[in-house]
Chains A and B, each alone.
Chain A
């Protein structure tokens, strides 16, 4: 028999190889996104309607004289930014966690998990698509919704806002990966649990109101949500024109969330994967 020739399999991959492997997940999600364009239209319409519906509340309060002048404009911007950020972060969380549910549903999870891809590349690749997808969807919602309101963005500091969005997105990735653990562990209940995680984030992060409004117990929980800092600093940058140094504390907190949560969530996902393999839970669901 001829001598078998095959390169010795690598134990660890270079950063370049990992980037390339991670990009494969971005490509796959892009292909899936193109095939499900009708759903994308549905979510876009939902996002626009939600943004308009919430922000019109501020318009009515202004029309009835409950809030006046500058305050009315600020309230409209406050709610507009809240709804847009909510659309953005829910798209990120959905994309990362639902892809696991989807893979379980299609039965492809076994093939994905047995591919020689480090879990870091797999999950970060999925997260990068989530962030890009959320950016595109939220930008479209903004472009469609903005003409309905006469908002003054002349004071906005766009450079600071862009930096906040970049750091804030990284801070949310860990949460998205953690939400993806649930469908991996509980094929039948995981998706519902992911939505519950999202609803708690919605409640405590000050999406439609300031976290100061919350009762003390919930306010304490709000400090554990990276979305709290994203919303607070983004409003500060877009409404008050805050500079990077003005929002430095929030940026540092969000960066700390990213530094802690991303490795932690990948470790938790890997532990959950191991448990799923131990208990034989990776088989097709659906």
Chain B
């Protein structure tokens, strides 16, 4: 990625500030004459957090805990019922156009036009962020080199690529635009160990070399431990604990040495269940 030029963004220490965000969904179609009470799902419940500039902030939670909804709210793809999100001081709803120039996102599901090649997809996504064709090609190749995706795969149709290769292209799509705030929604889910390591190394490099601020959601405790400067646990749409890995581990260590406590133990101590059990509960309760 090239260095950023004009110095004019407001100098803020916390590029992302989330205040009292809540979101409830009413899934499915309901006829206006239906007397049945609509089923409501409170996906995000009064969440507040602040992310320091140049840091990686981890959100740990099971599937269905509200991580993706929160990321969608920060990406202006879902409008919150209550609360406020500010990115470099810009309100994500009112100043959506400005916010969209500052952020990008990797979702757990790498969505592309599968009949087009990786480079054709990246060309489109680069162009809609104002980059010209040559710039997109140069940046795409640089990022994909670092992620270990060779030239043949870059020119192949996306539908012919493995899930891991598609996820690498999704990572390239997001970093192509040099966002100052990156939202990574389970970027390594479904990747083989080597691809996972390549993506994690790349994320760490970008954060270190380009002063990017990153919000990462995951249910992989080791990934959170390895990458994140601060971590929050999201359970049932609420943040139940927040701090550095050391602070969180120390808080539940009691008589044990902190070094013997891992983030899975923290999750267990906070919720009385493992991430997998929390996931099962979400599935059972719909």
Residues of A within 8 A of B (CB): 1-12, 17, 20-21, 23-25, 27-28, 31-32, 35-36, 102, 106-108, 110-118, 274, 277-280, 282, 284
| CB of B211 within 8 Å of the partner chain | yes
| CB of B128 within 8 Å of the partner chain | yes
CB distance from B107 to the nearest CB of A (A): 7
B90 CB contacts on chain A under 8 angstroms: 9
| CB of B197 within 8 Å of the partner chain | no
Number of interface residues of B (CB under 8 A): 51
- Contact check, A6 vs B125: say whether CB atoms are below 8 A apart: no
Instruction: From the candidates B54, B102, B211, name the one contacting A9 in the complex (CB within 8 A).
Output: B102
CB distance from A118 to the nearest CB of B (A): 7
| CB of B67 within 8 Å of the partner chain | no
- Contact check, B113 vs A5: say whether CB atoms are below 8 A apart: no
| CB of B130 within 8 Å of the partner chain | yes
Q: Is the interface of B mostly helix, strand, loop or mixed?
A: loop
A-B contact pairs, 18 of them (CB 8 A): A4-B9, A4-B180, A6-B4, A9-B101, A10-B97, A10-B98, A20-B127, A27-B127, A35-B116, A102-B113, A107-B111, A110-B77, A111-B105, A114-B77, A115-B128, A274-B79, A279-B25, A280-B72
Most buried by B among A32, A35, A106, A280: A280
A114 CB contacts on chain B under 8 angstroms: 75-77, 100, 103, 105
Q: Complex Cα distance A21/B100, Å?
A: 14
- Contact check, A108 vs B79: say whether CB atoms are below 8 A apart: no
The 0/1 profile, CB within 8 Å of A marked 1, for residues 26-38 of chain B is 1000000000000
Q: Complex Cα distance A1/B54, Å?
A: 8
Instruction: From the candidates A7, A102, A108, name the one contacting B5 in the complex (CB within 8 A).
Output: A7
CB distance from B128 to the nearest CB of A (A): 4
Q: Which residue of A lies closest to B179 (CB)?
A: A6
Within 8 A of A (CB), among B55-104: 69, 72, 75-79, 90, 95, 97-103
Instruction: From the candidates B7, B43, B54, B101, name the one contacting A5 in the complex (CB within 8 A).
Output: B7
- Contact check, A11 vs B9: say whether CB atoms are below 8 A apart: no
- Contact check, B97 vs A116: say whether CB atoms are below 8 A apart: yes
| CB of B157 within 8 Å of the partner chain | yes
A108 CB contacts on chain B under 8 angstroms: 111-113
Q: Complex Cα distance A107/B108, Å?
A: 12
B103 CB contacts on chain A under 8 angstroms: 114
- Contact check, A8 vs B115: say whether CB atoms are below 8 A apart: no
CB distance from A23 to the nearest CB of B (A): 8
CB distance from A189 to the nearest CB of B (A): 9
Q: Complex Cα distance A32/B113, Å?
A: 8
Q: Complex Cα distance A20/B107, Å?
A: 27
| CB of B124 within 8 Å of the partner chain | yes
B43 CB contacts on chain A under 8 angstroms: 280
A7 CB contacts on chain B under 8 angstroms: 4-6, 8-9
Q: Which residue of B lies closest to A12 (CB)?
A: B97
- Contact check, B211 vs A4: say whether CB atoms are below 8 A apart: yes
- Contact check, A107 vs B109: say whether CB atoms are below 8 A apart: yes
| CB of B147 within 8 Å of the partner chain | no
| CB of B123 within 8 Å of the partner chain | yes
